[in-house]
Amino acid sequence: MGATPPVVTRFAPSPTGFLHIGGARTALFNLLFARHHGGRFLLRIEDTDRARSTQAAVDAILDGMRWLALDWDGEPVMQFARSPRHAEVVHSLLAAGHAYKCFATADELKAMRGAQRAAKVPLRYDGRWRDRDPADGGDAPYVIRLRAPRGGTTTIADAVQGNVTVADDELDDMVLLRSDGSPTYMLAVVVDDHDMGVTHVVRGDDHLNNAFRQLALIEALGWPEPAYAHIPLIHGADGSKLSKRHGALGVDAYRDALGMLPEAVDNYLLKLGWGHGDDEFISREQAVEWFDLAGIGRGPARFDLAKLTHVNAHYLRLADDDRLVDLVAPRIARLLDRPLTDADRALLRRGMGELKLRATDLDGLAASSLFYLRSRPIPMDAGAQKLLDDPSAGGLVAGVRAALAEVAWDAAGLEAAVRGVADAAGVKLGKVAQPLRAAVTGSATSPGLFEVLVLLGRDEALGRMDDALSREPVA
């Protein structure tokens, strides 16, 4: 017995748009399966649809994969560039009698389908040129079709779907080369998978029917059959087909528009149809160790943006503070309409440990950081205005302003001084802390008040209190 070949998987997107969230999950599963077995994960760009394929889409797919750390091995294979190889394979089939020339015209095929509709039978090519002498076609244009098996059945032992059997007569003689000599998708996929050494085809279950057609071609060529694993598609939270209203966006939108971290998207996609016990948060290292095809469920997974946001919040809390500053700085700069200075970034870095605990995405993190960097007088949101318009607020903030002007500027000293003002006024700490928070942050909510005061510094904090005390109440 020969040695088992190393595992080779592939991801094969068509460059007609951005990397879709479902495609990203397929790529992730292929990557993890290959890495789990010490194999290779390859990338093929299926750009044979020349009218719809664009370089911008190719770039977007590669960018999305790099962002998610879906690191493929070797250079991407461009399918269109391999067209001569595809044609070569078809002509070998033709010479061996496994394929034939079909001279049926477009009008003939249209009439054939019309008759089949009228008879209420499946629409399939009827094999009219299967056994005819190609000389009968003369110099007319022709396609080359596969001489598919008839009369038996074909069973695929799918690693996810189980054994699936189809009668050979349900499949017609598919076109391999068009009349202009260009290869069809079905042909190109089979040839490329073979030449790339793909051992396991892991893809969406919308390709399951294609597998039987492709397998007939593989058998005609005498090539090894790959193992198949057809993954159920992703549905929306309501169980219907996934669409943009459910959050079915390009991967770039999760990064740019929704402010997600790549490790959060990876973790969420991993759990979208695959599981490992009750584990919710799984690192890439654990995923490589644990991933297997047996863990993929047979039912469609349901995409839930709220759940993804929950996972993202978890990874924000774990993220390195310097990295988060780098990620939110451009967002904050857009909100402030100015570039951030080195001092701004240093202040953000000092406050990030608390800020990230309250955020669920990078946009929220950026928005919650703004109060540190705004120029005086800072704007007040509705909650802050309500707190400062309370009749008792002015006196309490003024009392705190006077007390803080003389204390050591550290959290313990600041808290003691504010407590002293509250005790003197005969009120609870919160009665003083809330209008003070509004004065120095412009909001009713913020990270810990005394940490905020320390980070703002004495002059900035006292200046903001002065601004609040001089403001006109909102009518």
pLDDT in tens, 300-333: 999 999 999 999 999 999 999 999 999 999 999 9
* Residue whose tokens read 């598609």: 233
Q: What is the DSSP string of 37-101?
A: TT-EEEEEE----TTT--HHHHHHHHHHHHHTT---SSSPEESGGGHHHHHHHHHHHHHHTSEEE
Residue 2 has a pLDDT of: 57
Distances (CA, A) of 113 to 79, 100, 117, 128, 146: 31, 21, 6, 13, 19
User: Max alpha carbon distance in the chain (Å)?
Assistant: 108
Residue 363 has a pLDDT of: 96
pLDDT tens digit string along 455-469? 999 999 999 999 999
pLDDT tens digit string along 100-123? 999 999 999 999 999 999 999 999
For residue 438, give the H/E element and its range: helix 429-441
Mean pLDDT of 179-202: 97
Residues written for the chain: 475
* Residue whose tokens read 């030449």: 195
Residue 48 has a pLDDT of: 87
Give CA–CA dist 119/302, Å, rounded: 39
Residue 52 has a pLDDT of: 87
Mean pLDDT of 135-161: 96
Cα–chain center distance at 360? 17
Task: Tell me, yes or no, if 244 is annotated catalytic.
Answer: yes
Residue 243 has a pLDDT of: 66
User: Which class for 342: exposed (0-12), middle (13-18), buried (19 or more C-beta within 10 A)?
Assistant: exposed
Residue 245 has a pLDDT of: 62
- Per-residue confidence band for 475, with pLDDT thresholds at 50, 70 and 90: low
Share of the chain above pLDDT 70, in %: 98
pLDDT at position 382 over 90: yes
Residue 474 has a pLDDT of: 62
Q: Are 396 and 425 in contact (CB under 8 A)?
A: yes
| Contact residues for 7 (Cβ-Cβ < 8 A; gap 6+) | 33, 34, 37, 38, 39, 40, 199, 200
Q: Choose, from 244, 386, 428, 431, the residue flagged as catalytic.
A: 244
Q: What is the DSSP letter of 241?
A: B
Residue 244 has a pLDDT of: 61
Share of the chain above pLDDT 90, in %: 90
- Supply the mean pLDDT for the chain: 94
Residue 400 has a pLDDT of: 96
Mean pLDDT of 286-290: 97
Residue 3 has a pLDDT of: 64
- Per-residue confidence band for 370, with pLDDT thresholds at 50, 70 and 90: very high
Residue 424 has a pLDDT of: 95
Mean pLDDT of 395-407: 94
pLDDT tens digit string along 237-259? 777 777 666 556 789 999 999 99
pTM summary value: 0.91
| Contact residues for 98 (Cβ-Cβ < 8 A; gap 6+) | 146, 147, 220, 221
Residue 4 has a pLDDT of: 73
